[in-house]
Structure 1
Amino acid sequence: MSQQYPNWTHDQLMREYYDHYWGFPVHDERELFRMLTLEMFQAGLSWATIWRKRAAFDEAFANFDIQQIASFDDQKIEQLMQNAAIIRNRRKIEATINNARVLQKYHAMGKTLDHFLWSFVDGQPIELNAQQDTVLPAKTPLSTTISHQMKKAGFKFTGPTTIFSLLCAVGIVNGRVK
């Protein structure tokens, strides 16, 4: 039986993303932060645009080293604003730095983004049993709850739609085609 793909995998890049990344459970702290950041930058744009630029984002954001990003200052923000290889949105850049600083505080308390996100599903992915033509919702009660808790903790640019997209991308919600 040949691989079934969701309708949004319209080109080879998106099929490779689907085959190797989307929907597989992620527990690595740096990768979770990377995906959170990329999902934030995606808001208002296509995921394909962001995914094509991921190497540039990796380079611009110190391979998503939380400690390094938390130390970014105004000079670094201006440097990032001049980097044509990434999305130059000051609010999203500043949110990324803010979120790294929030995670620093989490880590200092012995907490992780991994535990935080996965605790909402007791460590087990939610299975959507999606079909090829399934249209996933923009947000869910779960993503709204997590968004609210993240904002309460000080995270920025973590609305329910961004969070639902993150949950699917990192396998907390399994929307892969059955």
Structure 2
Amino acid sequence: MAESLRGKLLIAAPNLFDYFRRSVVLVVEHTEQGAFGVVLNRRAGSEVAELVPDLGPLVERGAPLWLGGPVGPDSVVVLGEFEHAGRSAGVVTEKIGVVDPDGDTEVLRARVFIGHAGWGAGQLDEELERDSWIVGDLDPDDVFAEGDLWAEVVSRRGGDYALLATMPEDPTRN
């Protein structure tokens, strides 16, 4: 592991055709033992209040629930924006952290995810060597984006990446 990718985005490369196709993952933790992240751009199809009503006060009424990844589908991860994330349960970046629903009172906005993405020791590094992921910088608004986040973060990289952002979701229908 060269350096920790905590707080970085993993943007699915166009050649990634599995669960993570066109996914944008925020790396929450990355150590020698492995990595933990949350897919930012997959809606679960239900509302927070329906499946985890205790977390309703953290989000706006009618807020959708998001699929954080295929690991631990019964687990819940709440990401939030703070004035200073050092006051959160788990710092990801200067302003983004993992929310402790029972203790974090200074959350500016939050998003609730079920499940997460996980990698064992060295697994993420291998995927990066195979060019399965493009590493990008996080804008705090990415955590709360509603549109085509994959296209947005790819185009933000500029150059040849901007062309990739215009690629249709299903290239066979081009």
Query: TM-score higher than 0.5 here?
Result: no
Larger strand percent:
2
TM-score (norm 2): 0.29
